[in-house]
Structure 1
Amino acid sequence: MDSQNLLNHLVTAVLVIDKDLKPCYANAAAEQLLGISQHKLLELSLPEHYQLMGVESQILIDAVDSSQGLTVNTAPLITLDGQHHTIDLTLIPLEDERHLSLLELRQVDQQRRIHQQLNQDAQQQAAQFLVRNLAHEIKNPLGGLRGAAQLLSRELKSPDLKEFTSLIIEQADRMRSLVDRLLGPQRPTEHTQHNIHEVIQKVMALVEFTLPNNVTLSRDYDPSIPDIAMDADQMQQAVLNIVQNAIQALESSGGDIVIKTRTQHQITIGNKRHKLVLTLSIIDNGPGIPPELMDTLFYPMVTGREDGSGLGLSIAHNIARLHDGRVDCTSAPGHTEFTITLPLQAGNTC
């Protein structure tokens, strides 16, 4: 077996670049990662084949020119077609008078996502356990308070005084509603077969009438996606919560929201690997999420808005979990993407 054929069987992207960063070789994994054919890859310098990479071009040029090695871990990469990746980059100088170097780009998206999800799930469950206990402790005295206010109201003759008991009852009901929302769905409900695009269309119809004039909402569907077993009402709520967050992020500046559906193969959710999954992405070009919120984004009561409750994303995350799925988020100024991933064949894992 020749070396070129061997390199084409690697899952790591391998390129050989000169001191101008122009590739003179690229394996099949490099073509797949950058979304460009090998013929086109060899025509232009490497920086012209992506929108952004977490290593400045001049650093790579200096390393190649001086025959120095270079390693960069968890660097962002945005390809020309807008795909976001996280890569480990290794540059190895070759013993060649032309100052050539071997560049390895290894995708770590999947490993990083699995690690983040396991951490996130553990933290989310701890937070929900705390919230559930706190909510139950609040509901008991709240029920007693409301009952006492009702009894007191029956004894009062003055309408002016009854206004105060009515206020107590109204606020007790409001607090109970908040506590119920904090608890959210806790157990899987009955799942029946539904088309995900019908669920999305209902969400679009709900937000259409209140959509600000400076915000556009569009769709990018894969019509070949089969029906999936779900609680349609819960899934509608999860999608609606994320879409409303995107709308609120764009209210002041305006922008575009795209709801995109696709399928992916061999994706790990938690500790299970699924042959086929559905990905439902809500993408906006707003200002992005503050970095300090990213690690606690799906916690209950965490919000970046003064008037926000911080429950929408927590509920969406919990609904996805009850469907054996997950919610991921990537965000930078100009591109925020929430992706709900659900197994299409629940029992078909490997």
Structure 2
Amino acid sequence: MKSLLPLASAAAERPPALAGLDLLATAVLILDAEGQIAYANAAAENLLESSLKALSRQKLNALFLNPAELDALCAQARQHKFSDLRQELTLERGGREALHLHAIASALDEPPASVLLELREMVQQIKLDREERMLDQSQVNKELIRNLAHEIKNPLGGIRGAAQLLEMELPPLHLQQLREYTQVIIKEADRLQTLVDRLLAPHRRPHIVGDVNIHEVLERVRSLILAEFPAGLAILRDYDASIPEFRGDKEQLIQTVLNIAHNAAQALGERIVAGDAQLIFKTRVARQVTLAKVRYNLALDLHIIDNGPGIAAQIRDRIFYPLVSGREGGSGLGLTLAQTFVQQHQGVIECESRPGCTDFRILLPLP
């Protein structure tokens, strides 16, 4: 490939003839024979989180912890083995999130041994892969829960019945003392029965479809949460009033949002005491969205955001699994049920969390 222009000057000024590259969403860099950055367009500055002036002082491979594949790609381009080379790379950066990139390297004739490098983030592909894994895992979880709950249900009835019969046969002399033991058996059997019923609830309850106004759903949840936490918690509303009604199960959606918001409110315990706990209900319209491998022109983009301590790192990737809870005494079913209800509406639910901000995002197709 011919040279686009002489490389940038020592002052790291953009050559006027390359100004058009700043309009591209793809990051474009020019590397000299030693691999030092000679030019970076605006998208490259954003990607690498640094200015051209700062980048021009260092080699590209010095920015990453694992530059071997990138170096090999550029070396092959310099040797003119192919017209251009394409490769998917994951580049680690110290203290920052890794970059998942599709890279294209092309040799330039002048200056000698220089390389034009195009870098494009694979955000959409990674998102689709993650959603596909979540759907597959959710389906496995649902089958496991259903089978396990049915296997537990029948023995539980027998255990409870046997305890009741045993209680009826207890000798009067020791009735009160021994009755304590039978009552423990009965109460624990009832507790497990309640848990089993909750596990089976999404599969038993019919899907009642009607017209749903998402803001009515959110206002209902808001009133329920504020009734339980009347002081120290503010629930802010950031609504897009243009969002149309859609077909769905209103009660399931109320339960979905309530489960998430209630978990958030419980996690905000210390901030509620301090008086600065905050929940945000935010709605927007997303366009051209792919949900469960289906493309939709419009989708509801609902965020439930809190300013709590965040989800513990050790369970962050498993929060939608059944019986996984970050709270002592929690059943670990609230988010599992929320995910099930969202998927029954052909939507997806995802979460991003860090200390001070946890954001649950629900995407549902709109007409």
Structure-1-length-normalised TM-score: 0.72
* Count of residues in correspondence between the two structures: 302
SS of aligned partner of 1:252: helix
1:179 aligns with 2:171: no
1:210 aligns with 2:203: no
SS of aligned partner of 2:202: coil
1:145 aligns with 2:163: no
Among 236, 241, 250, which residue is 1:223 paired with? 241
CA distance in 1, matches of 2:224, 2:117: 49
Q: Which runs of 5 or more residues in structure 1 are unaligned? A: 1-15, 31-44, 77-83, 346-350
Render the CA deviation track for 1:71-121: whole Å, top value 9, x for unaligned: 774899xxxxxxx9x874879899999xxx989674533322210111112
Offset at 1:19?
6.5
The one-letter code of the counterpart of 1:65 is R
CA distance in 2, matches of 1:182, 1:209: 27
CA distance in 2, matches of 1:75, 1:109: 15
CA distance in 2, matches of 1:321, 1:104: 37
Render the CA deviation track for 1:162-217: whole Å, top value 9, x for unaligned: 44433322221111111222334026612111111111111111110222744321
The one-letter code of the counterpart of 1:343 is P
SS of aligned partner of 2:191: helix
SS of aligned partner of 2:346: coil
RMSD: 3.9
1:254-265 aligned at under 5 Å gives the runs: 254-265=276-287
1:191-206 aligned at under 5 Å gives the runs: 191-206=209-224
1:1-350 aligned at under 5 Å gives the runs: 26-27=22-23, 29=25, 55=48, 57=50, 61=53, 63-66=55-58, 68=60, 73=90, 88=101, 106-156=120-170, 158=175, 161-186=178-203, 189-211=207-229, 213-253=231-271, 254-345=276-367
Offset at 1:146?
1.2
SS of aligned partner of 2:228: coil
Of all paired residues, the percent bearing the same amino acid is 42
CA distance in 1, matches of 2:350, 2:92: 18
SS of aligned partner of 1:139: helix
Pick the structure with greater CA Rg: 2
CA distance in 1, matches of 2:252, 2:155: 29
The one-letter code of the counterpart of 1:333 is P
CA distance in 1, matches of 2:100, 2:238: 27
1:57–1:95 CA distance, 2 compared to 1 (3 A): farther
1:209–1:63 CA distance, 2 compared to 1 (3 A): same
Q: Which runs of 5 or more residues in structure 2 are unaligned? A: 1-7, 27-40, 64-69, 71-88
1:117–1:19 CA distance, 2 compared to 1 (3 A): farther
The one-letter code of the counterpart of 2:23 is N
SS of aligned partner of 2:203: coil
SS of aligned partner of 2:133: helix
Render the CA deviation track for 1:282-339: whole Å, top value 9, x for unaligned: 1122232233323222101112223222111111111111111110111223322111
CA distance in 2, matches of 1:68, 1:172: 63
SS of aligned partner of 1:341: strand
1:159–1:21 CA distance, 2 compared to 1 (3 A): farther
